[in-house]
A and B are shown apart, each in its own frame.
Chain A
Amino acid sequence: MATVTTSTGGSAGATTDRLPAVVRSSGPAGSLLMVEPNHAIPLVHVVVAARGGYATDPHKHDGLTNLAAQLARRGAGKRARAQIDAALDELGATLEVDTDPDSVRFVGHVLARNLDPFLAILADIVVRPQLDPGEMARTVREIAAQIDESRNDDQALCARFFVRNLYGDHPYGRPAEGTRASLEALTASEVAAHFQRLFVGRNLVFAATGDVEPADLEARLGRAFAGLREGVAEKPAPLRTPVPVRGWRIQLVDKPDRQQAQIMFGHAGPPATDPDFVALQVGLSAFGGHGMTSTLMDEVRTKRGLAYGAYLSLAERRGAGAVAGWVFSSNDKVVATLKLVLKLYLSFMEKGLDATRVAASRTFVAGSYASEMDVPEHRLDARLSAEMAGLPPDFVDTFPERVRAVTPRQVNAAISKHVRARDLAISMVATAATMKKLLLAAKIKESSIDVVGFESQ
């Protein structure tokens, strides 16, 4: 099949930005194939991604997409789960399921010399899954137990509640893995139908990086996935705009004996394809990005020692990705920390950034991209995420240039339009008996404080 494009970002004079070339071509059964050869080490990283992640889970069917992919991984072709596990381990390969709002992916690593048998197993999973009802019951129990386990981690727990607090019934508010109740309500036929709808050629992106050449991989995939149906591409339903939060809506996730509170705060942002997206990223990075000199880090940690860290980021999504902040602080400092963070975010929204701060943020965001993209799998992941978000094929390669082209006026316009500091979902994992009194006494002017148990979702 003919190669479509070779993307090698970076303009003349910006050689340090240039990422290794990725070759885009047609894959099996009308799919898209992206390959970045890299022969430094004898491994291949392979991803098969279906458009439409957990945002495609029907109402009250939370966890359907993830369960379908997990179940396919647990029995395919002539192999039962134990045989797939053993076959992959014998190849020294790994194969995991990764489900996000916009895609569901099989993600694997394999030694280059074992690529063909690995692709044969992967093809069985994608093309010939067993989707056995008995294995499904066991998979549901396993996922439910993992949900229970995730409550040990207060940070992950806070994130799980925060997305629901922020998005409500919007598809992005669903937990990727569902809940025990939603999983137990699913039928085997629903799971099978959902899988067969998502995993067809025209809805798939094959992606790889490592010790393989694009034409070689294209041929290998063609052989391994010969039985893949073309089907039709998942037509993404237009994601409705989330119902905005009004005021500061505080949700206390009550967990016993907490000495700290994990706090997440935020609101819905623009889709990744919004013309303001890059400018907003530059602005938000200055406020709470991953550098140590951001406003949040400087004011909360460096100047006052109130918390170990304070961050804010914008998710790159096909729909309204979250603008989400995160800070954690001991009980006696929570009120001071929360008040400070809210005050800083209000000020950021109202005053924006001066040209010096914009220039510094542009330099940092564009420059640090080389470090972020130093890992071949990260580059592949970034390219896949951009594809799933509907961004142009050269978005990752040209990102530093796009950042450097942003003006202070554009940044401040984006802040003014998209930052909603007066309307925030705030979730806190804390001991409610202690924390609610502190919050009420502090008169934060919240619109509401709801208390929910940490095992309630």
Chain B
Amino acid sequence: MKSAKNPEPTPARAADATSAAPASPARTGAGASDAAPLRELARAPLGSLSASKWRLGNGLTAVIMPDPSATSVSYTTWFRVGSRDEDEAAGQTGLAHLFEHLMFTQTRGQPVGAFDQAIEAMGGNSNAMTYYDFTAYLDSVPPGALARVAALEADRMLNLALDRGQVATERDVVIEERLGSVEDSVDGSLDELLYKQAFRKHPYRWPVIGWMKDIKAVTEAKAIAFYRRFYRPDNAVVVIAGKVDEAAALEVLVRSYGGLTAPAGAEPARAVAEPEHAPRREVRAALTRPVPADRLVIGYPAPGLAEADRAAYELANEMLLGGPSSRLYRRLVVQTEMASSARGDVPPTRDPGLYAIWIQMAKGHAAGEADALVREEIRALVRGSFTAAELDKAKIRLETAFWRELGSSHGKADLLGQFEIACGDFRRLFGRADEIHRVTAADVQGIANRYLSGPRSVVVASPPGASAAAPGKSSARSAGRARPAQARGQSRENRRS
């Protein structure tokens, strides 16, 4: 392995990549630590731990959360670019997600495969995920490998070198990914149709993985233009959590990223999506899949992660579907046995998103039965027909979930990154417990009135049967975003344990 601290071009591969490499030499220089003033922007405690936020002179943001009890370091790089930044009209959906794959190919200094080889030689592993609002690259490495992983990440932030063959190969891999997670997945298909029906204009209407026709039409020229526009230090946040020393981490960051120069202009130019509180009307849609019994998803308008209503909304979901004694789960699965499972997802979107209630009917029961029960229980929330004990139960369940998610270095980095991207301040994460604690019954009733009442839902159901689309062909009806288990983003690796 070459020195990762100062990557140098490898002539054999550089020749392959010349035609596609970014032109500006200003994008390349790593290692000039004296060019990077460092400012501390924020610091906050969480129990016995704390996190701090910093900014380098080139605009790169860093969040660091040491945890002496950890055994590894989670080193994550978040770019403020997701499927929301794509142009559907130009047939360019799926580009953000494609980079989840392309970023592991080669740079001007590192040949094909060198990134993965270097990470694994450290005893680390790497992954990535794409969401509507961000793309994140996730490395988990032993504590001694911090400097090496930082150098690798700094290198690919500006020096990616694409060629036509790699773009074609990764496009084929994404096609396979989409076939598995959407076309052959009932939940993927339902999810895609749900968002498409709910949103009229906002970019959340198209799937993170992209429409199949757009994936097939991608070219290296489109990919390079996208990379140059969005991959830059002032559009990125590095989040480090785990067994790491803050001062040492800062030194490594300055040394690795300090010499990177952001392209001219304060921020990447992008279209501003007007927030859309979708759906605005009642919509019903269906598709047919080989399911044992009706499967359905019901979508309602939901606040974004940073909005003031968020805590009360999450509590409402918890009261409906958060645990075996929650009112809707108990009625659907335990008392009536009409469903084998029921759950609710409130997605961590930056803009207003879509609350999804997923229900699998038991054989002999139809989707309409569950739909009616859902409406009934939502009306009860709107009326305020719930007890203080129910609200307390929902609060304590969310408190447990909050701490569980923070149980690993990866969990810490993941949440810090999400909050920093969606809210602009990681400290909102640390304030979640208090926000949840302060919610009153009137707050829950209020959000039920604002978001869940009236004819503003999308119901998408799949009765048992054969698909409308013939095998081997994609269709608009069967195209979709990730299955709900992956709804937070497409993962580069969707592997079984």
List A residues at the B interface (Cβ < 8 Å).
16, 18-20, 38-43, 81-82, 85-86, 88-94, 109-111, 138, 141-142, 145-146, 148-149, 151-155, 159, 255-260, 262, 290-293, 298, 301-309, 311, 326, 328-333, 360, 363-364, 366-371, 373-377, 431, 434, 454-455
With an 8 A cutoff between CB atoms, is B400 at the interface? yes
Alpha-carbon distance between A221 and B411 when the two chains are bound, in angstroms: 30
Q: Determine if B466 and A256 form an interchain contact, defined as CB atoms under 8 angstroms apart.
A: yes
List B residues at the A interface (Cβ < 8 Å).
47-49, 67, 69-72, 74, 104, 113, 116-117, 120-126, 140-144, 168-173, 175-177, 179-180, 183-187, 242, 289-293, 295, 322-326, 330, 333-334, 337, 339-341, 360, 362-363, 389, 392-393, 396-397, 399-400, 403-404, 406-411, 466-467, 469-472, 493-496
Alpha-carbon distance between A455 and B292 when the two chains are bound, in angstroms: 9
Interface centre among A88, A293, A305, A369 (most CB of B within 10 A): A305
Given A89-B325, A90-B393, A308 contacting B471 (CB threshold 8 A) = no
Give me 26 A-to-B residue pairs in the complex whose CB atoms sit less than 8 angstroms apart, sorted by A's number.
A38-B69, A40-B67, A42-B47, A85-B324, A85-B330, A89-B393, A92-B399, A109-B400, A111-B396, A141-B337, A142-B333, A142-B340, A145-B362, A152-B291, A159-B496, A259-B183, A259-B184, A290-B125, A292-B104, A302-B169, A308-B173, A308-B176, A309-B494, A332-B472, A333-B176, A367-B142
Q: Determine if A40 and B125 form an interchain contact, defined as CB atoms under 8 angstroms apart.
A: no
Kindly list the 8 A-B residue pairs having the minimum CB-CB distance in the complex, ordered from nearest. Answer: A367-B123, A305-B172, A92-B396, A145-B340, A371-B140, A148-B292, A85-B324, A257-B467
The residue from B71, B170, B292, B293 contacting A19, defined by CB atoms under 8 A apart: B71
Q: How far is the CB of A350 from chain B (nearest CB, A)?
A: 25
Q: Determine if B124 and A41 form an interchain contact, defined as CB atoms under 8 angstroms apart.
A: no
Alpha-carbon distance between A89 and B392 when the two chains are bound, in angstroms: 10
Alpha-carbon distance between A81 and B335 when the two chains are bound, in angstroms: 11
Q: How far is the CB of B489 from chain A (nearest CB, A)?
A: 15
The residue from B120, B408, B469 contacting A374, defined by CB atoms under 8 A apart: B408
Alpha-carbon distance between A298 and B290 when the two chains are bound, in angstroms: 33
Q: How far is the CB of B102 from chain A (nearest CB, A)?
A: 12
Q: Determine if B120 and A94 form an interchain contact, defined as CB atoms under 8 angstroms apart.
A: no
What's the dominant secondary structure at chain A's contact region?
A: mixed
Given A40-B67, A40-B69, A375 contacting B408 (CB threshold 8 A) = yes
A42-B47, A375-B407 given; name 6 further pairs at CB < 8 Å: A152-B360, A292-B120, A306-B176, A370-B71, A371-B125, A374-B72
Alpha-carbon distance between A327 and B169 when the two chains are bound, in angstroms: 17
What's the dominant secondary structure at chain B's contact region?
A: mixed
Alpha-carbon distance between A68 and B29 when the two chains are bound, in angstroms: 64
In the complex, chain B residues whose CB is within 8 Å of the CB of A291: 116, 120, 125
Alpha-carbon distance between A367 and B280 when the two chains are bound, in angstroms: 52
In the complex, chain B residues whose CB is within 8 Å of the CB of A306: 172, 176
Given A42-B47, A111-B400, A291-B125, A138 contacting B337 (CB threshold 8 A) = yes
In the complex, chain B residues whose CB is within 8 Å of the CB of A42: 47, 403
Alpha-carbon distance between A162 and B483 when the two chains are bound, in angstroms: 23
Alpha-carbon distance between A374 and B71 when the two chains are bound, in angstroms: 5
Q: Determine if B120 and A328 form an interchain contact, defined as CB atoms under 8 angstroms apart.
A: no
Q: Determine if B290 and A257 form an interchain contact, defined as CB atoms under 8 angstroms apart.
A: yes
In the complex, chain B residues whose CB is within 8 Å of the CB of A292: 104, 116, 120, 125-126, 493
Interface centre among A258, A304, A455 (most CB of B within 10 A): A258
Interface centre among B126, B168, B185 (most CB of A within 10 A): B185
Residue in B closest to A303 when the chains form the complex, CB atoms? B169
The residue from A149, A256, A293, A371 contacting B340, defined by CB atoms under 8 A apart: A149
Alpha-carbon distance between A16 and B179 when the two chains are bound, in angstroms: 41
Alpha-carbon distance between A155 and B187 when the two chains are bound, in angstroms: 13
In the complex, chain B residues whose CB is within 8 Å of the CB of A311: 495-496
Residue in A closest to B324 when the chains form the complex, CB atoms? A85
Residue in A closest to B469 when the chains form the complex, CB atoms? A257
Residue in B closest to A83 when the chains form the complex, CB atoms? B325
In the complex, chain A residues whose CB is within 8 Å of the CB of B121: 360, 363-364
